Amino acid sequence: MEEAVVNGKLDDDKRLLNLKCSVQNYDWGRIGRDSSVARLFENNCGGLIEEDKHYAEFWMGTHVSGPSFLIQEDEGIEIVSLKSWILQNPKVLGDVVVEKWGSDIPFLLKVLSVGRSLSIQAHPDKDLAGLLHKLQPDVYKDANHKPEMALALTEFEALCGFISYEELDVVLEHVPEIKEVVGIASVDQVLTVNKHNGELKEERVLRSIFTKLMSVDKKVISKSLSKLVNRLNSEKETRPLTDKEELVLKLEKQYPDDVGVLAAVLLNHVKLNPGEALYIGANEPHAYLNGECIECMAASDNVVRAGLTPKYIDVETLCSMLTYKQGLPEILKGVALNPYTRRYTPPFEEFEVDRCMLDEGATVVFPALPGPSIFVVISGEGSMHTLSSEERVSEGSALFAPAEIEVRVTTESTLHLYRAGVNNKVLMNP
């Protein structure tokens, strides 16, 4: 295959670049080889998996907390960060991306292996992110917002957004432990709003209840949780518990005496099948509970936590920033681009994700786009071709594709891969 050469060197803006990527070992990650993240990292970087270690996230991108690297071999072997290489070669991003976001990739791609619940959290919008980063740069690492999307690799569970007002009414009637914590006056507010259909008051009432719950003394929470767990264990002997009740017992074992266990009762319990996706905007409460997923987001690591975590929590900021929208979130099932590929497009400018499931012997083409892409191979083996290069790929391969190059993928086995790129609507309508 003919290669594009400039000044005697391979023209990198016309070929795929192999990435060496970062791993995060958070306590909620799956342990050893039970974690897809561990196996991807092992294959990507050649490191040994520690069987007693938690492997939570595999990062692909330029964020300072988990940068990707590439190996240049033009004049000896040199390892450079993807971020620094892009700063020297901004044309690989395409004009639209550079004009809108500067000389950096605006998205961050991850694989998550969730063994136990992450914290109840939300991500700040741009204005709040800038303020938090200025005030506490050691906690809030950047000034960007972090809308995100989780695309299930396995069955995947999450908490996302607040339950409807009708469900809240039922919870306050049938979960006396929460009623005790937030007070009778708050319960009466809900009943009054429902009776008079006061939609404008719903947000204020929910905000009041949630803030009161999250702000209660830990001793009160511990006492209420003890009552709740004892009651559910007793009732379990005479009736089947609901999914939410079973979840409460599970979370309490993971995080004893944690207010997040009670807060979970007020949030939607969402279950995704493989190939289904959930997107989360700024200031929306959520927590991933179990399973493995592809996660894509704006290039940020800003998290405001308030429960189900031993990490730093900021209840006041979280309660003040939330939108308090109610009802079930939208589940994306993707739009078919061809027999093998489905595209998931959330309502965010920074990213979209393609899911590609190739059969043995199949070929698929990813058309040239005016923005960059990052590919990750989850399983299988195959080849990825451009006009100037060919790369053999397998489980753990991660590759950067510059703007304006077509990528053709072939395989002699089944091949499961994902592509993350800038939202196509932005690229085509700058």
| 409: Cβ contacts below 8 Å, ≥ 6 apart | 356, 358, 363, 364, 365, 366, 382, 383, 384, 385, 415, 417
Return d(Cα 272, Cα 157) in angstroms, integer. Answer: 6
* Of residues 402, 390, 396, 403, the one with CA closest to residue 418: 396
350-355-358 Cα angle (round to 5):
150
> How many C-beta atoms lie closer than 10 Å to residue 252's C-beta?
20
Return the structure tokens found at 195.
Answer: 């009776």
CA distance 24 to 42: 13
CA contacts within 13 A on the Cβ side of 355: 21
The whole-angstrom separation of Cα 115 and Cα 157 is 11
Per the annotation, does 385 bind a ligand?
no
Q: How does DSSP assign 228-295, residue by residue?
A: HHHHHHHHTTTSPPPHHHHHHHHHHHHSTT-HHHHHHTTEEEEEE-TT-EEEE-TT--EEEEEEEEEE
Instruction: Determine the residue type at 405.
Output: I
Q: Which amino acid is at 25?
A: N
- The whole-angstrom separation of Cα 70 and Cα 82 is 6
Q: Which residues pair with 156 in a beta bridge?
A: 272
Judge whether 177 is annotated as a binding position.
no
> Is 145 annotated as belonging to a binding site?
no
Tokens representing 393 are: 């790929």
Q: Is 305 a catalytic residue?
A: yes
Is 286 within any annotated ligand binding site?
A: yes
Helix (H, G, I), strand (E, B) or coil at 156: strand
Determine the residue type at 87. L
- DSSP-derived 3-state class of residue 83: helix
Given the residues 305, 342, 355, 419, select the one marked as catalytic.
Answer: 305
Q: CA-CA distance, 154 to 291, in Å (whole number)?
A: 6
Phi, psi of 236 (to 5 degrees): -60, -25
User: Residue 9: which residues within 8 A CB-CB, separation 6 or more?
Assistant: 74
Residue stretches of the annotated binding site: 121, 123, 148, 286
Known binding positions for Zn(2+): 121, 123, 148, 286
Give the active site residues: 305
